[in-house]
Amino acid sequence: MSLPPVNCERVVDYITRRLNWYILDFARKKAGIIGVSGGVDSAVTAFLTVRALGPERVYCYILPSDATPNEDIEDALEVIERLRLPKEHWEIISIEKITKSFEEALGNLTKIERGNMMARIRMIILHQRAYRHNGLVVGTGDKSELLIGYYTKYGDGGVDILPIGGLYKTHVRQIASYLGVPERIVKKPSSPRLWPGQTAEGELGVGYDIIDPILYYRFEEWLPEKEIARKIGISENIVRSILDRVKRTQHKRLPPEVFHIGYRDLGSDWRYPRQWV
Amino acid sequence: MNRYKVGLAQIHSLLGNVEDNLNKHLEYIDKAKAHEVDVLAFPELSLTGYLLRDLAYEVSDKCLEALDEVKKASKGICVIVGLVEETRLGIYRNSLAIVQNGALKGFIPKVYLPNYGLFEESRYFTRGYARDLKLFNHKGLKFSAVICEDAWHPEPIEFLSRIGADLVFICSSSPLRGLYGKGDTFVEKLWESMNITRAVENTVFIAYVNRVGVEDEEYFWGGSMVISPTGEILVRAKKMEENLLIAEIDLHTLRRARRFSSFKDHAIDLHRYLSELP
């Protein structure tokens, strides 16, 4: 048993409407800013944002480091070519020099410290460009990554909206095929590419073909761990290890905690809608 | 007179923005009048938007001001609008106001306040009671209305049908969920079946009006429809977009349908036992 497919036509129509409304009407901004990596999430996000706003309101940035394989840069370029962006609407900006100068100032960094820093450098660049073009940073995180906390807090997590945050990785691939994203990108194994040879499956222990149904059965169908393991045909330990990740990373998904002092503080007292006129 | 024109204003209300929402209401009332609509219904909380959360405490005065403007615009037409009603100081209901020919005829509050999933209505609102469900009459058409969740239980519409309604409006703010599989989502399928069931089990016309557009995380899908007492979908609005939906209903259809239904039978003993169950 695996998770049910999404209704591609409805999902694309729905996300497109919401992106258009959120960026132009609600936030009253002029553009969507996207970091394009050559992976499937950013490809789908870029395709959807162009559908929502038109290519003249989208800016894409390829932000490679020495850990970025050439193949990713080629794939990112192919995505940008298909989007038909005006030529001043995309750039390749290497983050290698910036990363190195941080490392010179801070001393040697571990692999993970440096990886997180790279994700945050990309975030800084995207927000700078967003300010320049009066746009919002359109995040590329999907539901699988958001739920297991497989992203850098204030790095790739530091965005204004997450239009594909309701789609599991499996669904993102399904939507990618529907949108005509190049096959090579759809089939490529997922990786944050923060160091050479890094893959999601290598770090997480299992692939999204296993992670996605675990998350779906636990949080959408409310099944107990034992039943999930039985349904997918895996051990309960795997189910538990993935669900532990969800719990451990809860802090990444919530705004920082405020200690209550007054009659009404930010947090549980503060139940105003996001849309507040 | 046996034929009436029913209008459903499938609008995108802006959260907390009563002024802009009022303008949208006046625009749709004008359009409906141009089409000679007899009764025009707006969705649940149409003047205020649905997901008000703490704004629920701060919009009721503006709603009353807006209602005055709706009254002025209602010459020759009957209009049902959704709003936050302050019934006592600091106590609020999720209500419908029935405005007819320049006068406010009354309020219908929501009886079942949903508190599951994304819904947290009883945090903000107090519930309505059977005594608050009333019948209205416009040019001989006997009608009433319920709000969203009240259609997910059989009694409110049954009650209104038994006190004489020939047409019941369901004013709703139903958000989209579960874009899985093919065709309609499960929420859309459920609403369609429910509307047909309520129409057939009570042999009444059902006019379902749902909102469209975005509010915080939610997106309302529209899909307003009018159902005949035999369960036929007479008209259906577009999904995801604003729409003024108009249907002509013929009371002869109702008379005919009741001759082939058991609506006249009412097993009161069953209801007596039901009332004793938790």
A275 contacts in B (CB within 8 Å)? Answer: 14-16, 49, 215-216
The pLDDT tens digits of the residues spanning A57-82 come to 999 999 999 999 999 999 999 999 99
Alpha-carbon distance of A135 to A68, in angstroms, equals 26
The answer to whether A90 touches A80, Cβ cutoff 8 Å, is yes
Q: Can you give the pLDDT at residue A2?
A: 81
A271 within some domain: no
A166 within some domain: yes
Range list of β-strands (E), chain B: 3-10, 39-41, 78-88, 91-100, 103-109, 136-138, 141-147, 167-172, 205-210, 212-215, 218-221, 225-227, 233-236, 243-250
pLDDT band of A276, cuts 50, 70, 90 = confident
Q: What is the 3-state secondary structure (H, E, C) of chain A?
A: CCCCCECHHHHHHHHHHHHHHHHHHHCCCCEEEEECCCCHHHHHHHHHHHHHHCHHHEEEEECCCCCCCHHHHHHHHHHHHHHCCCHHHEEECCCHHHHHHHHHHHCCCCHHHHHHHHHHHHHHHHHHHHHHCCEEEECCCCHHHHHHCCCCCCCCCCCCECCCCCCCHHHHHHHHHHHCCCHHHHHCCCCCCCCCCCCHHHHHCCCHHHHHHHHHHHHCCCCCHHHHHHHHCCCHHHHHHHHHHHHHCHHHHCCCCCCCCCCCCCCCCCCCCCCCC
Helix/strand/coil percent split, chain B, to 5? 35, 30, 35
The alpha carbon dihedral of A26, A27, A28, A31 has a sign of negative
- Judge if A119 and A46 occupy the same domain: yes
- Is the pLDDT at A114 greater than 90? The verdict is yes
Q: Can you give the pLDDT at residue B1?
A: 63
Chain A contact for B14 (CB, 8 A cutoff): yes
Alpha-carbon distance of A213 to A23, in angstroms, equals 32
Distances from the Cα of A267 to the Cα of A175, B9, B79, B119, angstroms: 35, 36, 39, 18
Q: Which residues contact A47 (CB under 8 A, 6 or more apart)?
A: A79, A82, A83, A176, A179, A180, A181
A101 within some domain: yes
A59 within some domain: yes
- Judge if A162 and A240 occupy the same domain: no
Q: Can you give the pLDDT at residue B53?
A: 95
Task: Look at residues A188, A214, A229 and tell me which one is the last residue of a structural domain.
Answer: A188
Alpha-carbon distance of A210 to A231, in angstroms, equals 11
3-state secondary structure of B33: helix
Select the residue of B14, B54, B216 nearest A277 (Cβ to Cβ).
B14
Active site (catalytic) residues of B? 44, 110, 148
Could you write out the DSSP letters of every residue in B185-212?
A: -HHHHHHHHHHHHHHHHHT-EEEEEE-E
- Judge if A40 and A127 occupy the same domain: yes
The pLDDT tens digits of the residues spanning B128-166 come to 999 999 999 999 999 999 999 999 999 999 999 999 999
Q: Can you give the pLDDT at residue A42?
A: 98
- Judge if A183 and A206 occupy the same domain: no
Chain A contact for B215 (CB, 8 A cutoff): yes
- Judge if A173 and A211 occupy the same domain: no
The pLDDT tens digits of the residues spanning A222-232 come to 999 999 999 99
A241 within some domain: yes
Alpha-carbon distance of A69 to B146, in angstroms, equals 60
Share of chain A above pLDDT 70, in %: 100
Alpha-carbon distance of A14 to A1, in angstroms, equals 27
Cβ distance of A272 and B180 shorter than 8 Å: no
Q: Tokens for A274?
A: 């996001």
Cβ distance of B16 and A274 shorter than 8 Å: no
Q: Can you give the pLDDT at residue A97?
A: 97
- Judge if A56 and A130 occupy the same domain: yes
Q: Can you give the pLDDT at residue B88?
A: 96
- Judge if A105 and A140 occupy the same domain: yes
Query: Taking all residues of chain A, what is their mean pLDDT, rounded to a whole number?
Result: 96
3-state secondary structure of B37: coil
Domains, chain B: 3-276 (3.60.110.10)
- Is the pLDDT at A240 greater than 80? The verdict is yes
Q: Which has the minimum average pLDDT: A193-202, A208-217, B219-228, B239-248?
A: A193-202
The pLDDT tens digits of the residues spanning B98-124 come to 999 999 999 999 999 999 999 999 999
A272 within some domain: no
**Residue of chain A whose alpha carbon sits nearest to that of B52:** A273
Distances from the Cα of B21 to the Cα of A83, A275, B242, angstroms: 37, 14, 13
Chain B contact for A5 (CB, 8 A cutoff): yes
Alpha-carbon distance of A198 to B1, in angstroms, equals 76
The pLDDT tens digits of the residues spanning B25-73 come to 999 999 999 999 999 999 999 999 999 999 999 999 999 999 999 999 9
User: Number of structural domains, chain A?
Assistant: 2
Q: Can you give the pLDDT at residue A1?
A: 60
A110 within some domain: yes
- Judge if A110 and A41 occupy the same domain: yes
- Judge if A121 and A222 occupy the same domain: no
Chains A, B: CB pairs < 8 Å: 57
pLDDT band of A277, cuts 50, 70, 90 = confident
B176 contacts in A (CB within 8 Å)? Answer: 14
Chain B contact for A87 (CB, 8 A cutoff): no
CATH number at residue A29: 3.40.50.620
Task: Look at residues A188, A209, A235 and tell me which one is the last residue of a structural domain.
Answer: A188
- Judge if A14 and A80 occupy the same domain: yes
- Judge if A99 and A149 occupy the same domain: yes
- Judge if A43 and A126 occupy the same domain: yes
- Is the pLDDT at B76 greater than 90? The verdict is yes
Alpha-carbon distance of B202 to A37, in angstroms, equals 58
How far is Cα of residue B1 from the mean position of the Cα atoms in its chain? 24
Task: Look at residues A148, A168, A188 and tell me which one is the last residue of a structural domain.
Answer: A188
Alpha-carbon distance of A272 to B52, in angstroms, equals 7
- Is the pLDDT at A91 greater than 90? The verdict is yes
Provide the residue range defining the domain that includes A235: 200-253
A240 within some domain: yes
